A and B are shown apart, each in its own frame.
Chain A
């Protein structure tokens, strides 16, 4: 049973204010957003920062709903992914992790590297270029989520792809939203 205490201590030391693991649907997305909103409201967070956190949360959660690869391990199929919010004195961190097929890693990594190479104006141009030319995919995405996260947070996207097994990696993403208003 000590793992409960260990998990609690990890959450405290990592300054996590919300952790959710399980299946992700539009319904869980709405519940998580409502919980986080209440938390931000009760802590009296500034509305401009609240909006940015909310924004990044939505894109992150809907990315998982739409794109997380189903993990097939023998007879077991799983959509399990994880979503976390950290709150430090100078920033919020919106973090997520979900299985991704190894064959999909290079393309995703290239897209994220491209976004991280751009400055504010470059991101704006990329956003306009995509929105003009995109059509909504079968999964319901516009291909704009990561660009929007980078624009709203004003920070580089942090990511890694630790290996799960021969076929899958775990896509870890961290987006920091500064708590000092006007930093961007």
Chain B
């Protein structure tokens, strides 16, 4: 399966989705002008991955900041991951970033996927 690899910019996150090497990560800042457009390839990739996923998947979110339009798309990403067997979310937040910790907790209440919280 093709690797999705997007370099991070000042307003978009770094994204690596690599089935073969088992790397699934969204990190950095997310405040794109058009969040739906930006996350479309991610949702498409997950759609294909869901058809033949690895036995287990650790999907990493390591976000420094995201805007509200991105939060809706992050929920869409999580909803797309929800039906994939063996899925686990690793939600990283900076150790003094209570808002990011709380955001992760709220997402975990909105979808039926196990979340593991980690600080960096």
Contacts and interface: CB of A to CB of B under 8 A. Distances in A.
Q: At the interface, is chain B mostly helix, strand, loop or mixed?
A: helix
Interface in B84-117: 94, 96-99, 106, 109-110
Contacts of B67: 58-59, 62
Contact of B11 (A30, A132, A141, A144): A30
Contacts, number: 65
Size range of the chain A interface in the assembly: 20 to 34
A65 B67 CA distance: 14
Interface stretch (B30-38, B44-52, B54-62): B30-38
B68 A34 contact: no
Contact of A131 (B11, B75, B99): B75
- How big is chain B's contact interface, by range? 20 to 34
A55 B75 contact: no
Interface in A112-166: 124, 127-128, 131-132, 134-136, 140-142, 144-145, 147-148, 152
A48 interface: yes
B71 A26 contact: no
Contacts of A51: 65, 97, 99
Given A51-B65, A51-B99, A128-B110, A140 B34 contact: yes
A78 interface: no
Contacts of B94: 47
B72 interface: yes
Contact of A142 (B10, B68, B96, B99): B68
B16 interface: no
B109 A140 contact: no
A52 B99 contact: yes
Contact of A136 (B65, B69, B109, B110): B69
B8 to A, nearest CB: 14
Contacts of B11: 26, 30
Contacts of A131: 71-72, 75, 110
A145 B68 contact: yes
Contact of A48 (B34, B73, B96, B106): B96
12 contacts: A26-B11, A48-B98, A52-B99, A59-B67, A62-B69, A124-B106, A128-B106, A132-B110, A136-B35, A136-B69, A140-B33, A142-B68
Interface of A: 26, 30, 34, 47-48, 51-52, 54-55, 58-59, 62, 65, 124, 127-128, 131-132, 134-136, 140-142, 144-145, 147-148, 152
Query: Which 4 A-B residue pairings sit nearest by Cβ, starting from the closest?
Result: A144-B68, A26-B33, A142-B72, A136-B36
Given A26-B33, A136-B73, 12 more contacts: A47-B94, A47-B97, A51-B65, A51-B97, A51-B99, A55-B65, A131-B71, A132-B75, A136-B69, A140-B33, A140-B35, A144-B69
